[in-house]
Each structure stands twice: as C-alpha cells, then as structure tokens.
Amino acid sequence: MSMMKKLDDTSRAADADWWRGAVIYQIYPRSFQDSNGDGIGDLAGIVERLPHIADLGVDAIWISPFFTSPMKDFGYDVSDYCDVDPMFGNLADFDAVIARAHDLGLRVMIDLVLSHTSDQHPWFVQSRANCSNDRANWYVWADPKPDGTPPTNWLSIFGGSAWQWDARREQYYLHNFLISQPDLNFHEPQVQQALLDVAEFWLQRGVDGFRLDTINFYFHDKYLRDNPALPAAQRNANIAPSVNPYNHQLHLFDKNQPENLDFLRRLRAVMQPYNAAAVGEVGDAQRGLEILGQYTDGNDKMQMCYAFEFLAKDPLTAPRIVDTFDALQAAAPNGWACWAFSNHDVIRHISRWGLSDAAARAYATLLMCLRGSVCLYQGEELGLPEADIAFEDLQDPYGIEFWPEFKGRDGCRTPMVWQSNDPQGGFSTAKPWLPVPAEHLAHAASAQGGAESLLAHYRASIALRHAHAVLRKGAQTGLAADGAVLRFERVDAGQRIFCAFNLSDAAAGLSLPEGDWQPLGADLGSQPATGGTAALGPWQFCLLACASG
C-alpha cells in the first residue's frame, strides 16, 4: 500500500505548494465502480476502490461531475450545483468519499462546470420566462439580426450555430456546447457571486481544489462581434474533430475574453483560506499555451492549466515534445502546465499512438519526469486501449451527431476492469451503461499483480517522482531531440537528474553531459551508462542522478 500519511486538517493546511508537480488521478464516476447494481458507477463505488488509487501513490483525485443533472452531456449539464445526482448517491456519500480519501492521504478535486448550466437549471427556467425577471440577465440573450438570423456567426463545439431561438423571449440564447447547455452571462455580477458561492459550498465540505471545465469560455465578447474565418492551413483539430466546422473560425470573441482574469482572481481569493488548488481546462487550438500563461502567471489566479498538446492524435515524438516546451516557454514563461496523455474526451493514448507495452512504459516514465503537474485517467495504469463501440450502443451525443467519421467519446469511457474472470470486469452485477469490451479483461487490475506488470510500472514511476523533489518542482534544462531520443535535465539546488528516452523502434546511442552520474530507476528498466555514453534499445530510457554544483 501507499506510504502516504493521512491528511488531517493540519497536514492539508501545511503545504500550500502541494499541487506543484502533483500527480492527479481522474475518476469518471459513471464508469469507475457500481455499488448498487444499476449498471452505473457511483460515489459509494469510488469509496470502495480508493485503495487502488492510493496504492498507485498519486497525490489527489479529480472526480468528473456528479451534480444533479438531466445527463444530456453526462453531468456536464448541471441542474443543481450544490447537490448530488441520485444516480451517484447523495451528499452523505460524497462526504464519505472525502473522509476515505483523506484517510488514505489523497486530496480531492472536483470538476466545476461554471461556463454553462443545464436548460433545466432553475436559474435558466426563470431567465427564459421573460425579459424582466430577476434572472433575466443571468444567461447570454440577444436579439436576432434584422433578417431573423442569429446575432453572430459563433459556432457550437457540438456542431451548428452556437445560438438557439427561444419563443418565450423572442431572443436567441448562447450555447457553446449542446442546445441544452445555455451559457451563463459572466458580465452579470450576480452570476459571478452565485458561482463563487458554489465554490465556497464545496470547499466548506472539504474539497481540496477544482478542475475547472472550459475555463476560457466563461466570458463572451459583450459587443457580440463575429469571429473571423481561419484559413484551412491553420485549422487544428485538437479541440474539435476535423469534420466539425468549429475549426473554420478563429475564436476571438466567443471565448478567451480579458475580463476573465478578474473573475479568476476572485475565485483564487475564495480558495486561498482553504489552501485549495485549481487546474483550468483551456480549450483553444491556436492560443492554448498563451492563455495557460495568462491564467497561471503570478500567485493571484489559477495554479495550473490543463494542456491539450499531449492529448493530440499526432504521435508524441521527441521533436514534438521539444517544440511544445519551446512554445510553452515563449508563450507562458511563468506558467504551470498540467500534462495528460488520456482523459474522458479523447481516444486513449495506447490506441491513439499505437503503443506497444515497452512504449507504454517509456511514456509513463517520461510523464513522471517532465516539468509540470500530471493527470492520469482511470484505466491508463492498466494499459486499456480504446473500446470499439457499436453505433447502437453509443451514448455520447457528440458521436451520434458526427458518426461515422467521428465516433464520439464513449470508447474511452467504458467501465474500469477490476476482475479478469468476470464478463463485466467486476464493475457491476448488472449490464453496464456502456459495454465492457472482452479484450479489456486481460488488462484487469486482478491480472496485474506481478512486479513486471504495467500497473506495477506506474506505481514505480510515481514513486520515483515522489522520491526526488527535483522531478516535481525543479527546473528543466537542456531539452533537446537527438533524432528520436529526447534528452533533458531536471535541476534544483541540490540535485541533477539526467533523462533520455528513445521514443522509437530503432536502437540509439547518446553521450552524457559532464557530471558524476549514478544510476537511477533500475527497477523501472533504466539503462546503465558507461564511459560517458549510453546505448538505448527501442523504447528504452536512461535516468541518472548526481549532486548539483
């Protein structure tokens, strides 16, 4: 089991910098563990499986939305910010998650969806009733153009116009996502205060921080200016699939507004007394790293932002990693990124990059050596590939809309597999909300008890990061690509760690920088170095340590 100590109120308050270099484990609650036999994961199931996460050695969990919701977008359409959807349990169940997590030394971060609500939220029900009620201005309403068409050319990430006509008010409302997800109007001070009160509610309940969904979508351009077209050569499908016309615009006015900075300062002030931390999800294909820098610069906004660069479909080569960090340094020299290879919105990286077992191990180790914080997605530690979901089993409205060119997000959201000898993987006693692929059963946690398993490798990689503060909080220097070999050093006042990763199927050699290097990470498969050189086979790596001068 993990050697992490129980987190009481004193220890939680002691380390204000706990988030820097932290490893955060994302739980998608619908698919983690079903405790009541309805085929859907729940909060009690999370409590049951928390020892697995603690045994990994991570610092915190991030729980995707569990709030009251009609589930048109599986919880990202909130109808009550301060309650638990009955599907997942109740507030007492959530309190049990907090208590058990803290007993196991895990901090708890929850997914706050502040940019929009469900159209069934009482705020929106009142707002849409007429133009004169107390919440009439709580959402983004606008008159049509003289010809009756929408006020701007803004597009929804889920396809089509971002504006929906409402006959009650004879106006359009803005929805950057589903029609059933109207956008809140952050230009209204009462909206900001209501959302800050939501954050305070959960902080008082014991949460240690937030993952902030679509953080750069909070504000819209108050002048309702059209977005300019984006030339085809500049289109980037990292945020929306290539078949989506959303990629045809430069999103200058429907998101990324400067007013957001002041709201983030207000949110940070609410979080500060609780020693809480936040990671903001920045969704922007052109300016993502620049916005990351704006939102994490200084000590008065967010601590981290979730970067999309390593969630892309393009192979993660050594040159691409160098380019990413160079761009990060140029756009956000004082920013702090949170890196991930997989999450609930993208094809699992084992399938996305076509990784062998050796490659999966190399990337897992690399992630723990790079500068920044880390998010792991449930099942990543088991090496789960993307599931192939038949159209008739699809649940995701995104996939249903763009099938078959884009199959949606269900393939990465299938249930966790705990037991290899159970057709449902030990997830549920009932038919799960998404099918458990038969090929996943060989990857189940019960089948990975050995020291040579990928699960054991993840544990050892995370342990390495925790054993050396320089890997969590130190500087990163000398980043370079020698062909397919990525090399860099992590440096602080007392230690240097040299890292080299051969990200290819061909053998490679490298020379070492000057230093009295000692081997590191032999239990992970780190290769030895002799005579100032190291030989790396396919997907091998070399980790070395020495005292810094």
CATH number of the domain that 520 lies in? 2.60.40.1180
- CATH number reported for the structural domain that contains residue 201 in this entry: 3.20.20.80
On whether both 498 and 400 belong to a single domain, the answer is no
**Is 371 a domain residue?**
yes
d(CA 102, CA 108): 8
Domain boundary among 464, 499, 518: 464
On whether both 395 and 298 belong to a single domain, the answer is yes
DSSP string covering 305-331: EE--GGGSSS---HHHHHHHHHHHHHH
d(CA 66, CA 83): 8
Residue 241: predicted pLDDT: 67
Mean pLDDT by 10 residues, the chain (549 residues): 66 85 98 98 98 98 98 96 98 98 98 98 98 98 98 94 97 97 98 98 98 98 97 76 85 97 98 97 91 96 94 95 96 96 96 98 98 98 96 87 86 97 98 97 96 97 97 97 98 95 97 94 96 96 90
Looking at residue 4, the DSSP 8-state letter turns out to be P
Give the global pTM.
Answer: 0.96
On whether both 212 and 329 belong to a single domain, the answer is yes
d(CA 93, CA 438): 31
Domain boundary among 464, 491, 510: 464
On whether both 479 and 458 belong to a single domain, the answer is no
On whether both 391 and 455 belong to a single domain, the answer is yes
On whether both 412 and 293 belong to a single domain, the answer is yes
Structural domain range at position 38: 9-115+189-220+255-464
Q: How many domains does the chain have?
A: 2
Edge-to-edge strand ranges of the sheet holding 495-502: 475-482, 485-491, 495-502, 541-547, 518-520
Token reading at 542: 């070399």
| Main-chain dihedrals φ then ψ at residue 478, nearest 5 degrees | 65, 25
**Is 345 a domain residue?**
yes
Please list the residues that pair with 108 across neighbouring strands.
Answer: 61
**Is 182 a domain residue?**
no
On whether both 267 and 409 belong to a single domain, the answer is yes
Residue 406: predicted pLDDT: 81
On whether both 504 and 367 belong to a single domain, the answer is no
Catalytic residues: 213, 281
**Is 169 a domain residue?**
no
Alpha-helical segments (H) within 163-256: 189-204
Residue 1: predicted pLDDT: 39
d(CA 62, CA 84): 16
**Is 504 a domain residue?**
yes
On whether both 387 and 288 belong to a single domain, the answer is yes
**Is 390 a domain residue?**
yes
Contact of 408 with 394, CB cutoff 8 Å:
yes
Token reading at 375: 């998010």
Contact of 428 with 354, CB cutoff 8 Å:
no
Domain boundary among 464, 486, 507: 464
* 3-class secondary structure, 102: helix
* 3-class secondary structure, 295: helix
* Nearest CA-CA partner of 345 in 413, 284, 406: 413
| Angle, CA 295 vertex, CA 268 and CA 192 arms, to 5° | 50
